[in-house]
Amino acid sequence: MSTEPAPASAAPPEQTPEPPVATPATTTTTTTAATSGGGEPPEHRALVLTGFGGYEKVKVQTRRGGGPRAGEVSVRVRACGLNFADLLARQGLYDRLPPPPVCPGMECAGTVCALGDGVSDRQVGDKVMVLARSGLWQEVVNVPAGQTFPIPEGMSFEEAAALLVNYITAYMILFDFGNLRPNQSVLIHMAAGGVGTAAIQLCKTVENVTIFGTASASKHDSLKESGVTHPIDYRTMDYAEEVRKISPKGVDIVLDPLGGSDTSKAFHLLKPMGKLITYGVANLLTGQKKNLMAMAKTWWNQFSINALQLLHQNKAVCGYHLGYMDEEYELIGGVVAKLISLYNQGKIKPKIDSVWPFDQVADAMRQMQEKKNVGKVILVPEAPKEESKKEEN
């Protein structure tokens, strides 16, 4: 899919979020603060992708890592985000993940428990959220201090683990590429998912934006409550026809995480001066394991247009992949600052679908892959008091 920076690690760090400056991590391990008494570092649990395939390929393993290197902090992880890219990675379809065995995980939140040499802008006890290309599904991680962001007052660890990947993606697509303005219209696919939920909330910060959102019928009430003007059941109707019935000229912006033939449909739904932003290939994912037929169909139907055709259309096509902005520290850091400001103003709030302990990672992945979630799916090292609880807000 597309929404992450570089990998994180423990003993050997390697994550790279917005400002990814990590070293390549080993499989992925980490440790907490300084080791007590100079003995062996304590053990911790990590989720490890042992090979490509079904849900069973992600296993809980025990790791032993070292303390933070110079410029790094150790973070005791309290919550991790599950992203669509993690599902693709499990099947070997995500090129920003190192080969297995490897610890996945692009975002987490927790408490700083140790500082490496030279770190002055973080303190032990600070609550932070972390962004990386991989390596964060662990109880303890070592990451460059520059890849951590203070958690705003009042935000839970679960919400913090749901913010970075989805909201950075939605913000940059809508405002940096899309240039969203008052009185425009937006089509959001997979509107009940993590990026979709973030995009809806961000659209609501702009006056009089008409939102079309695709999702299964059972999620339409939730979408309406969140601000979607026109929910569309993509399973039983042609969403392009439904959009045209309401807006004959089409829409100003289309967020396309699907790929294949849906990208072409999106382009033809644009009004003059409209913008299509493609940021994923969810159509590749049709089951637990890699589907060669689905891959062939998606790539065969992939949208293609040359510069001259684009000139005549008066439309824009943009591609977005957070995972390839490893070095854009200032750019991503600026977006995070804007998101935290919006959170503090009460204009955005991560919506948590469910919380799963590491031991139930297969169920968590199934929840997302079968598109049952409304909001973010969260993983936690320890079983929550109310497992798989759902939060309405």
pLDDT digits (tens, 9 = 90+) for 232-255: 999 999 999 999 999 999 999 999
Q: What is the pLDDT of residue 34?
A: 39
Contact 108, 161 (CB under 8 A): yes
**37 inside domain:** no
Residues paired with residue 187 on neighbouring β-strands, in sequence order: 212, 254
Return the structure tokens found at 5: 């920076």
Q: Does some domain include residue 184?
A: yes
pLDDT value for 285: 55
Does residue 189 carry a pLDDT above 90?
yes
Separation of alpha carbons 282 and 285, rounded Å = 6
Q: Taking a C-beta distance cutoff of 8 angstroms, is the pair 214, 189 a contact?
A: yes
Q: pLDDT: is 300 or 371 the higher one?
A: 371
| CA angle 381–51–104, rounded 5-degree value | 35
Look at residue 9 and tell me whether its pLDDT is greater than 80: no
How large is the average pLDDT for residues 338-360? 97
311-316: average pLDDT: 94
Same-domain pairing of 136 and 194 = no
Mention every residue, 6+ apart, whose C-beta is less than 8 A from residue 96: 4, 6, 85, 133, 134, 323, 324
Is 82 strand, coil or helix?
strand
Looking only at the bridges linking them, the beta strands covering 251-256 and 185-188 are parallel
Region 72-76: what's the mean pLDDT? 97
Q: Is the domain of 80 the same as that of 138?
A: yes
Same structural domain, 259 and 218:
yes
- DSSP strands (E only) in 51-157: 58-64, 72-82, 107-115, 127-131, 140-144, 148-150
Which stretches within 29-78 are classed as H helix? none
In which band, very low, low, confident or very high, does the pLDDT at 14 lie, cut at 50, 70 and 90? very low
Residues of the domain holding 126 = 43-162+350-380
Torsion 2-208-218-357 (CA) sign: positive
Q: What is the domain-level CATH number for residue 231?
A: 3.40.50.720
Same domain, 57 and 192: no
What φ, ψ does residue 28 adopt, rounded to 5°?
A: 135, 110
**In the structure, what pLDDT confidence band is assigned to residue 39 with cuts at 50, 70 and 90?**
low
Residue-level pLDDT at 6: 43
* Whether 250 and 319 share a structural domain: yes
Burial 268-296 (b: 16+ CB within 10 A, else e): ebbbeebbbbbbbbbbbbeebebbeebbe
The encoded tokens of residue 344 equal: 């503090």
* Contact partners, residue 340, CB within 8 Å, separation at least 6: 149, 152
pLDDT tens track for 207-233: 999 999 999 999 999 999 999 999 999
pLDDT at 4: 41
pLDDT: is 176 or 31 the higher one?
176
Tell which wins on pLDDT, 376 or 2.
Answer: 376
CA 49/CA 41 separation, integer angstroms: 23
Same domain for 185 and 116: no
Q: What is the pLDDT of residues 251-291, one digit of tens each?
A: 999 999 998 889 999 999 999 999 999 998 765 655 666 66
176 and 108 assigned to the same domain: no
7 confidence band (pLDDT: 50, 70, 90): low
Whether residue 384 has pLDDT greater than 70: no
Residue 372, token pair as written in the block: 């049952």
Tell whether 52 and 193 lie within a shared domain: no
Query: 270-278 and 251-256: which strand pairing?
Result: parallel
Task: Specify whether 312 is located in the same domain as 179.
Answer: yes
Residues 58 and 155 in one domain: yes
DSSP-derived letter for residue 321 is -
Based on C-alpha coordinates, what's the Rg of the chain? 20
Q: Is residue 231 part of a domain?
A: yes
CA-based end-to-end distance of the chain:
26
Residues 85 and 180 in one domain: no
Give the residue among 271, 273, 272, 290 at the shortest CA–CA distance from 281: 290
As to burial, measured by CB atoms within 10 angstroms (0-12 exposed, 13-18 middle, 19+ buried), residue 170 is buried
Cα–Cα distance, 120 to 273 (Å, whole number): 47
Q: Which is it for the CA torsion 333, 161, 163, 136, positive or negative?
A: positive
CB neighbourhood size of 51 (10 A): 15
pLDDT at position 11: 38
Neighbouring CB atoms inside 10 A of 337's CB total 11
Residue 268 identity (one-letter amino acid): H
The answer to whether residue 310 sits within a structural domain is yes
pLDDT of residue 194 exceeding 80: yes
Q: How many domains does the structure of the chain reveal? A: 2
pLDDT digits (tens, 9 = 90+) for 84-103: 899 988 988 888 888 999 99
Task: Give pLDDT, residue 307.
Answer: 86
Work out the percent of the chain whose per-residue pLDDT is above 90: 70
Does pLDDT of 16 surpass 90? Answer: no
Mean pLDDT, rounded, of the chain: 86
The phi and psi torsions of 205 (rounded to 5 degrees) equal: -85, -5
Question: What single-letter DSSP state applies at residue 55?
Answer: G
Same domain, 188 and 259: yes
Whether residue 152 is preceded by a cis peptide bond, meaning omega within 30 degrees of 0, is no
At 32 the pLDDT is 32
Q: pLDDT-derived band of residue 148, with 50, 70 and 90 as boundaries?
A: very high
